[in-house]
Amino acid sequence: MKLRLILLASFLGLVSACAPQSSPTPTPFPPDYLPTAVVLTAQAAFATSAALTPTTVPVTETLPPPVPSLEIPSPTPTLAAGFSDYSQIRITSPGPMSSLTSPFIMNAIIAAGESDKIQVDLLGEDGRVLQRFIQKLERNPLGIFQRFEFDFEIRAVSEAGYIRISTKDDFGRMQALNTMPVLLYSVGTTQVNPPGNLIYERVAMDGFKEKTEFFSGQVPLKGRIWPYNDEPVFVDLVTPDGKIVSTRVLAMSGSEAQPFETVLPYNITEPTPARLTFRQDNPLLSLSDPELGKLVYVYTVEVILNP
C-alpha cells in the first residue's frame, strides 16, 4: 500500500514539472509615465550633447562709450529772429555731434576769400590737426560746393573733434572761419546728423551793408549775435596791413542768440579800407594753432573808415 502511494506522488510531481508555466500578469504603467519617459530621455540626450560639445568662452566686444545725450538738429531748422543769411562757409554734412568713423565724407558750400584759397582741417579734441587740405578755389559770393574725404586715426576709442574751414582775403587777413563739432570713433558705425541752423551766419547787423563808410572816428554797431559758446566775442577793425586799430569785447550770457550794441572808435588821417571782424575762441582746444589760434568762428565785412 505504501509503495502505491509513493508511486502516485512521484507521478503527480512529474506531470506538474512538465506542464507549461504561466507568465505573471504585467503591472500597468501609470497614466503619465510615457510623457515623463520622453522628457527624461530628451534631458539625457541634451546633457550628453552638452558634455560632448567643446566649451567656448564668449568674446566680449569693447564698445565705444555711450554718446552724450544731445539734441539732434531738425532737418528743417528753426531760425532765431534776424538770422537768415547763409554763412560764407556752410558745412552741409556732417551736422553737429555726428558720430564719425574713418573714412568719412564732408560736404560744404564755401565762398572763398579774395585770396582764392581755402583751408580745411580735421582737429582732435585737444586741437591737434588730424588732417589738413589747402587748395585754390575760385571766388564766388554765393559759394561753391566742395567735397572732402577724411581719413584719420585716434588712439582712444572716441574723442570730440572739430571740422574747421577758413578763408583769407587778398591781404592775408582772415575773411571767414567756421567750425563743426563732431564725435570721432576708432570703431563703430557712422551716424550723420543734419546741419540744422548751423548753415546761417551767427552775426546779424541792423541796416548794415558791405563797404559802408564811417566818419568822425566812430563805427556804431547794433544787431544780434548767436555765439558758439559763452566766451567773449571780440570785434575788431583790421587795416590792410593787418593792424588792429580798434577793439571791443562783447560779453556773452550763455550760447543763445542775444542782442548787442557797441561803438568802435578809430583814429586815422586818410580814407582807409578796413575789415570789421567778429571772432570767438574755443577754450576746449588745449593746443593753439600758430596761425589760427583757438578760433572757432570768424565773420568779417569790409568797411571804409574816413577821418
- Residue 102 confidence (pLDDT): 97
Answer CATH for 89-305 from 2.60.40.10, 2.60.40.2550, 3.20.20.70, 1.10.10.10: 2.60.40.2550
Mean pLDDT within 1-12: 44
In sequence order, the β-bridge partners of residue 278 are 235, 299
Residues in Cβ contact with 279 at an 8 Å cutoff, skipping those fewer than 6 apart: 174, 177, 233, 234, 236, 295, 297, 298, 299
Place of cell 555726428: 98
Mean pLDDT within 126-139: 95
Is-contact 176 167, C-beta < 8 A?
yes
**Residue 167, pLDDT above cutoff 70:** yes
**Residue 114, pLDDT above cutoff 50:** yes
**Residue among 253, 263, 247, 246 nearest 232 (CA):** 253
Q: How many CB atoms lie within 10 A of CB 127?
A: 19
- Residue 136 confidence (pLDDT): 95
**pLDDT per residue as tens digits for the range 199-252:** 999 999 998 888 999 999 999 999 999 999 999 999 999 999 999 999 999 999
* DSSP assigned state of 34: H
pTM of the predicted structure, to 2 decimals: 0.74
Structural domain spans, the chain: 89-305
> What band does 20 get if pLDDT is binned at 50, 70 and 90?
very low
**Residue among 86, 142, 85, 82 nearest 112 (CA):** 142
> What band does 61 get if pLDDT is binned at 50, 70 and 90?
very low
* DSSP assigned state of 198: G
**Residue 111, pLDDT above cutoff 80:** yes
